[in-house]
Amino acid sequence: MHQTVIVIDGGSPTVQLLGRYVRESGVYCEIIPCQKVTQELIQQYLNKNLKGIILAGPQHCDSQDYATIAPKYVFEAGVPILAVAGSMPAMAAQVGSNLNVHVRCSRNDNSVTTAQIRARGHTALLDGIQDHTNSEGHGLLFVALETSFCLSEVPDNFVLMASTDDFPIAGIANEEKGLYGIQFYPELNITSQGAAIINRFVRTICGCVGDWRMSDYINEAIETIRAQVGDDQVILGLSGGVDSSVAATLIHKAIGNQLTCVFVDHGLLRLNESKQVLDMFGSNIGINIIHVDASDRFMTQLSGVTDPEEKRKIIGREFVEVFQEHANSIPGAKWLAQGTIYPDVIESATTGPNKGVAVKSHHNVGGLPDTLHLSLLEPLRDLFKHEVRDLGIALGLPHSMVYRHPFPGPGLGVRILGEIKVQYAEILRHADSIFIEELRNSTNNSTGKSWYDSVSQAFAVFVPVRSVGVTDHGRAYEYVIALRAVETVDYMTAQWANIPYSLLNRVSERIIAEVSGVSRVVYDISGKPPATIEWE
Ligand code: XMP
């Protein structure tokens, strides 16, 4: 049984990043919404090798929430506890101190700011971790500081661990009991030593040895799949995306020919994508694949439809129907395998103003209904995305496949604005392949990686507007291609990528020269929010 650290989510917007840092330290971790935590649950985890607890507080918390965010019994579990941001005062109050907390700003303010804290007292958590030292030899750290509250005194039995001029009590520790509180977010990029602090907590303070490694996980996962499935047949909807590809490869390694993949081509895939998927998984790995070319069917259903949501719904519905027809033809199938990953499973306790507001209905290929009457097999449901990638590499999948940018389920359908036509899809596929090829072949000198690997997602968009141009053959009146490249960690916010002009220029020249029907190329410089990453 793996050593485990649990993160109790009191409503932190970045709780998944916190969990990710723990896993990156080689320690298994689960994220549990605070409302689901009970004394019995903590006991169950203790029986399963629980080594530490992180309390991921909300940004703003009222004293009446303290018992939910930091229940008293967690402090009696006998394992070290790290209380982050809003859970720091909650912890201090719960362990018995008469505490004065000043609320500094209202719930609607953006209360996270960059600050430099001074690490004090040489606690085990921060000792030797610093960005630089001041003239008196004190360690200084840049952090993403939560400013919505301020402790007015160090709680009883705690020592001061960190401070700034404005927030003299920005970190507290009771080392005897293994309790640490920090008023900043170690999981945010601004906190440059965040990974080191989490690593220190889980490896040194909790004493975890780092027994969570993807190379070991393969054998464990294979045993679990074999035990679950027995001699039954399994079906998987392969999309060519990272998650379904890694799931297919892992399951195939476990049960070989008992797995059949159904690969539905809706006619809105990227250039040569269908062939690549069939070559890789069919010819190379030897997985049974049913290849369904349903492009005519999708195009017929989409004819004349311009509304983005309507397009998404049609693609989703048709996908399910086509998949179902073929799945029903596989005799003896009892299991439906899906590439569900941990972030899909985590129920965040966040109650922020945007929680639950669907900007777009995301249709994920693989989100199939239960009318198939199959049991679900989800071998990646414990893994974060970066772990799925590590697993893919450990399984021998090529880097270019495992580190491919995300591609939406409705494919080019949301990148052709308005009505989808075969001619538009062809133009877009060609333009997109030029953009991606140039990104792959150009090096970003500041990272040493290709521009493709330096950005989080890049693609071309077909804009069905015609503009005037001049070509060798005279006046042209042709379509517009927009290029989009973004940098993001969570895909909920994103910045447009600062790609060199020379590279954009090369892409533009090539698209106009090589793709007939395009006379103008533009680069999208909108951030998210307000613009979403996809154009539809
Ligand atoms: P937006 O456009 O909402 O995209 O900023 C955020 C991320 O989600 C992807 N995306 C989708 N993925 N089905 C999917 O499977 C969809 O309908 C869909 N719409 C957007 C998008 O590519 C980006 O990575």
Q: What is the mean pLDDT of each run of 10 residues along the chain (536 residues)?
A: 95 90 96 96 97 92 88 97 95 81 62 91 90 87 93 90 94 96 94 96 98 91 97 95 97 98 96 96 96 97 97 95 90 93 74 38 50 89 94 96 95 98 98 98 96 98 94 86 93 93 98 96 96 97
What is the model's pLDDT at position 471?
Answer: 73
Other beta carbons within 10 Å of 502:
9
Residues facing residue 209 across a β-bridge: none
Best residue among 340, 491, 528, 535 to mutate for probing ligand 1's pocket (most ligand atoms within 8 Å of CB) is 491
Spacing of C-alpha 79 from chain mean position? 29
What is the model's pLDDT at position 331?
Answer: 87
- CB-based contacts of 208-211 (< 8 A; 24+ apart in sequence): 208/3, 208/5, 208/25, 208/26, 208/27, 208/51, 208/52, 209/3, 210/25, 210/26, 210/27, 211/2, 211/3, 211/26, 211/27, 211/28
Establish whether residue 491 lines the binding site of ligand 1, counting it when its CB lies within 6 angstroms of any ligand atom: yes
What is the model's pLDDT at position 357?
Answer: 36
What is the model's pLDDT at position 63?
Answer: 84
What is the model's pLDDT at position 102?
Answer: 72
What is the model's pLDDT at position 349?
Answer: 55
Nearest atom (ligand 1) to Cα of 364: 15
Residues facing residue 151 across a β-bridge: 101
What is the model's pLDDT at position 136?
Answer: 83
What is the model's pLDDT at position 354?
Answer: 35
What is the model's pLDDT at position 111?
Answer: 86
What is the model's pLDDT at position 109?
Answer: 62
* Interatomic CA distance for residues 156 and 278, integer angstroms: 65
Nearest CA to ligand 1 atom 20: 408
* Cα 242 to averaged position of ligand 1 atoms, centre (Å): 14
What is the model's pLDDT at position 368?
Answer: 61
What is the model's pLDDT at position 75?
Answer: 97
Q: pTM for this one?
A: 0.86
Best residue among 320, 362, 489 to mutate for probing ligand 1's pocket (most ligand atoms within 8 Å of CB) is 362
